[in-house]
Amino acid sequence: MDQALLGYISRRVLQIPLLLVGISILTFLLMFLSPVDPVVAHFGLPIVQKMSDEDIMKVKDEWGLNEPLHVRYFSWISHLFQGDFGRSHIYKRPIIDIIIEKLPATLYLSFVAYGVAIVLAILAALIVISREGGLIDRIITNTSFLLYAAPSFFIALILILVFSVWLGWLPSSRMVSISVPPGFFAELADRIRHIILPAAALGMSHFALFYGYLRSSLSESIKQDYIITARAKGIDERTILIRHAFRNSLLPFVTQLGLAIPWLISGSVVIETIFAWPGIGRLTYDAAMKSDFMLLIGLTLFTSILVIIGNLLADIAYAIIDPRVRYE
């Protein structure tokens, strides 16, 4: 690996500790602003009302709530370093355990939704690009504009209305049926039936996003000089499109996916809430509804770290593909 690339990567990685400090301060401030009294959250209002002021003060002393702000911040940080994100008062369990338990469901849904959206976007962009300005191009491109403007929860409601309520083909909530049918294939079929609607609802707006990106980058690269050279050499259009134009658009597109993590999480909050999908998104919604503020803060921290990792990977991948970035 060359020096410039290594230098770029190490500079980029060195930014991360500072960013983490920033995020910890931000989340700590949010926690400080929270209207939820931690004593009430922990014991419940009826018990706190029976407690005397002295008892409450005693509890607060014990928890370090009467310390000055910076002392509280540093004690909180030292807990974080030990992997202690605090406890959720609705689940009565450590927050990090809950997040790790709920993460696979979200990853499963996102991978299916994104995988399908990416494959369809690539196919659509390839079909459209050799017929730029034609009827198919206009139909697909205008549809993608509409899908981009349509919020995922509206798409979800339409899908449920058509496929669950009117046609009765697909279930509209949960990851598996309450009574799972016996047998491997029956179970597999049950899982597939459950993921179709949420994945479609989550994937559609992302299809529009990916398609728009690929289409504009393909239509740029198809106009480049090396494409004209390839044509002049007599290479057939299909090879030019796939080997020359598409390869050059695909790489930046793949690095873009690392930047899509915030979208992925944002989308899953809404879709998991509608489809009662037991993942991180649904957890966020529940935490907000039940004012479990420590859990919300834990989720903010956790998702921020995911985003930082995604951005880092995207930047590094981009620097590997495009050497100009390394010398900035």
Partner 1 sequence: MKVSTILCIPGIKVLIIIILIAVAVPFLLPHDPNRANLEEAEQPPSLDHGCGTDKLGRDVFTRTIYGTRISLIVGLTAAVLAVSMGAGIGITAGFIGGKVDGLLMRIVDTINSPPEVILLIVLATIFPRSILTIILIISLTHWMSTSRLIRGETLSIKERPFVEAAIALGADDRYIMKRHILPNLYSILVISVTLMAAHAIMMEAMLSFLGLGIPAHMASLGNMLNQAQSDVMRGIWWTSIFPGIMLVATVWSIYRLGEGLKEYLTPHRDFLSRI
Question: Under a CB-based contact definition with an 8 Å cutoff, are residues 296 and 284 in contact?
Answer: yes
Which residue, 27 or 105, has its beta carbon nearer to partner 1?
27
Which residue, 230 or 269, has its beta carbon nearer to partner 1?
269
The full DSSP string for 99-166 is HHHHHHHHHHHHHHHHHHHHHHHHHHHHHHHTTTTSHHHHHHHHHHHHHHHS-HHHHHHHHIIIIIII
Measure the CA–CA gap between 119 and 138, rounded to whole angstroms.
Answer: 20
Q: Which of 269, 282, 274 shows the shortest CA–CA distance to 197?
A: 274
**Least separation, in Å, of the C-beta of 92 and partner 1?**
20
Measure the CA–CA gap between 45 and 128, rounded to whole angstroms.
Answer: 61
Which residue, 25 or 47, has its beta carbon nearer to partner 1?
25
Which residue, 166 or 185, has its beta carbon nearer to partner 1?
166
Residues that bind partner 1 (CB under 8 A): 15, 18-19, 22-23, 25-27, 30, 33-35, 145-146, 148-151, 153-154, 157-158, 160-161, 164-166, 172, 216, 220, 261-263, 265-266, 269-270, 273-274, 284-285, 288-289, 291, 293, 296-297, 299-300, 303-304, 307-308
**Least separation, in Å, of the C-beta of 195 and partner 1?**
19
Give the up-direction half-sphere exposure of residue 144: CA atoms within 13 A in the CB hemisphere: 23
Which residue, 248 or 273, has its beta carbon nearer to partner 1?
273
**Least separation, in Å, of the C-beta of 308 and partner 1?**
6
Give the up-direction half-sphere exposure of residue 237: CA atoms within 13 A in the CB hemisphere: 5
Residue type, 219: S
**Least separation, in Å, of the C-beta of 184 and partner 1?**
31
**Least separation, in Å, of the C-beta of 300 and partner 1?**
5
Which residue, 94 or 262, has its beta carbon nearer to partner 1?
262
- Tokens matching residue 163: 């496929």
Which residue(s) pair with 111 in the sheet? none
**Least separation, in Å, of the C-beta of 281 and partner 1?**
9
- Tokens matching residue 78: 């030292």
